[in-house]
Amino acid sequence: MAAKMEITLSPHTRDSDKQERHIISKIEEKRGPSQQKDCPDPELSRQSFRQFCYEEVSGPQEALCRLQQLCRRWLQPELHTKEQILELLVMEQFLIILPPEIQSRVRLRCPMSSQEIVSLVEDFHRASKKPKQWRPPE
């Protein structure tokens, strides 16, 4: 079973919260009712993993165990292939390195693969290089 994975990286703003809720609902719609109970939301799981702080636990061993749990909940190695997990990690990192204005435009489109992200970035680059239409003053 080839599972599709979505990713968003969003600063904490009102618009991004709305977008996050939209993406979460889209993910839930794609899952069957039994999958919704078994599988945590991938975006929330990713955020929990990325935002985990050492100070939240009592020591290094507990921190390592907690990170391993959070990582497994996010990447779900029992459900996803190595290729799918690598795709997810590469998509996340690629989005992070994009210029902020392109990153936000790509995020709004909710790409499902790294190839889709590349295509969107190329489209944005082409659109920004088009000559501007001259409009006569009113």
Q: Along the chain (138 residues), what's the average pLDDT of each consecutive run of 10 residues?
A: 47 50 50 51 89 94 96 95 94 94 91 93 88 63
User: For residue 53, what pLDDT is reported?
Assistant: 95
Structure tokens of 119? Answer: 């295509």
Residue 88 located in a structural domain: yes
User: Does residue 5 form part of some domain?
Assistant: no
CA distance linking residue 126 with residue 62, whole number of Å: 49
What is the pLDDT, as a whole number, of residue 19?
53
Residue 94's contacts (CB-CB under 8 Å, 6 or more residues apart) are: 114, 117
- Spatial separation of the C-alpha atoms in residues 2 and 21, rounded to whole Å: 24
Could you tell me if 71 and 87 lie in one domain? no
Number of domains in the chain: 2
24 close to 43: Cβ distance less than 8 angstroms: yes
Sign of CA dihedral 37, 38, 43, 48: positive
Q: Which of 40, 55, 79 is the last residue of a domain?
A: 79
Range of the domain at 50: 13-79
Model pLDDT, residue 135: 62
